């Protein structure tokens, strides 16, 4: 009798508290998930065959999309930057402009976004379906650790493949810019590559390298986490896949800004 008005009054406060606890709880689960995966990475035996399959899936089968998007990114950069620079009569700096923007920003970010769309969503769906069809529980019953068996190979594969794919993206993009700037718009070849050599430092390449390493971990971490803790039924898997792609993309862009302001 006495509790009636108080619940009506405290209802919103209660739901706010519940929502906050949910957020904190899922953040903690999210962090613990990565900690668990890192811990199991260094405990033998290591599932080498699984890792190879994941590298094949994330890396080799993304090659075509990486090369395609890299080439067109470089070409459009070459075109637009040329049109801007020619107004100031400094089209000699096309090479460094294309190379620096690719190596420092566009290469790591765009490669990571493309791979998120191509491989990340598939990973979430695969692990999510294993979860709702109770295959993950079956692994546990068979005394196979699901984290070691499913998650660790994916995250290690992301760690290995992302820097390599970013490097491929950069090189293809630089040659795409070369195609437009030198072959189409008539800049001299020596100027394009020579100026690039004087302006690009090892520090720029390392910035891109650290970015791509961290993106590799972020994308595989988010995508496996969302699949591992998927909701119920087909709808749960579809929601998990959408969330994984959106969260990965947002985290890539946010983390890119932070790394860009911290790294030289």
The binding site for other proteins (CB under 8 A) comprises: 52-53, 55-56, 59-61, 63, 99, 103, 161, 163-165, 167-168, 170-172, 193, 196-202, 204-205
* Token pair for 150: 């499913």
Do 171 and 102 meet the contact criterion of CB atoms below 8 Å apart? no
State in angstroms the smallest separation of the CB of 196 from other proteins: 6
134, 154, 132: which is closest to 142 by C-alpha?
134
- Closer by beta carbon to other proteins, 83 or else 206: 206
**Cα angle at 215 between 212 and 218, to 5 degrees?**
160
Mind giving me the DSSP string for 193-229? HHHHHHH--HHHHHHHHHHHHHHHHHHHHHHHHHHHT
State in angstroms the smallest separation of the CB of 62 from other proteins: 9
- Closer by beta carbon to other proteins, 29 or else 56: 56
Burial of 8 (0-12, 13-18, 19+ CB in 10 A): exposed
Its sign, for the CA torsion 118, 120, 126, 128, is negative
- Closer by beta carbon to other proteins, 92 or else 132: 92
- Closer by beta carbon to other proteins, 114 or else 200: 200
Residues in the chain, overall count: 264
State in angstroms the smallest separation of the CB of 17 from other proteins: 49
State in angstroms the smallest separation of the CB of 202 from other proteins: 4
State in angstroms the smallest separation of the CB of 27 from other proteins: 34
């Amino acid at each position: 009798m006495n509790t009636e008005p108080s619940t009506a009054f405290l209802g919103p406060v209660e739901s706010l508290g519940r929502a906050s606890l949910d957020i904190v709880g899922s953040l903690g689960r999210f962090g613990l998930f990565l900690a668990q995966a890192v811990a199991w990475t260094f405990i033998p035996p290591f599932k080498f065959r699984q890792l190879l399959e994941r590298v094949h899936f994330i890396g080799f089968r993304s090659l075509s999309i990486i090369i395609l998007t890299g080439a067109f990114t470089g070409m459009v950069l070459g075109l637009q930057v040329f049109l801007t620079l020619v107004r100031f009569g400094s089209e000699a700096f096309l090479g460094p402009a294309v190379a620096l923007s690719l190596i420092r920003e566009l290469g790591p970010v765009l490669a990571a976004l493309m791979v998120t769309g191509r491989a990340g969503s598939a990973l979430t769906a695969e692990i999510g379906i294993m979860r709702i069809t109770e295959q993950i529980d079956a692994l546990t019953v068979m005394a196979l650790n699901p984290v070691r068996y499913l998650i660790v190979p994916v995250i290690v594969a992301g760690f290995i493949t992302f820097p390599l794919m970013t490097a491929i993206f950069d090189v293809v993009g630089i040659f795409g810019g070369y195609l437009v700037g030198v072959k189409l718009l008539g800049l001299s070849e020596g100027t394009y590559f020579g100026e690039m050599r004087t302006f690009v430092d090892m520090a720029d390449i390392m910035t891109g390298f650290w970015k791509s390493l961290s993106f590799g971990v972020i994308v595989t971490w988010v995508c496996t986490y969302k699949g591992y803790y998927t909701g119920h039924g087909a709808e749960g898997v579809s929601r998990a896949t959408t969330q994984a792609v959106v969260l990965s993309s947002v985290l890539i862009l946010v983390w890119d800004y932070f790394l860009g302001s911290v790294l030289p």
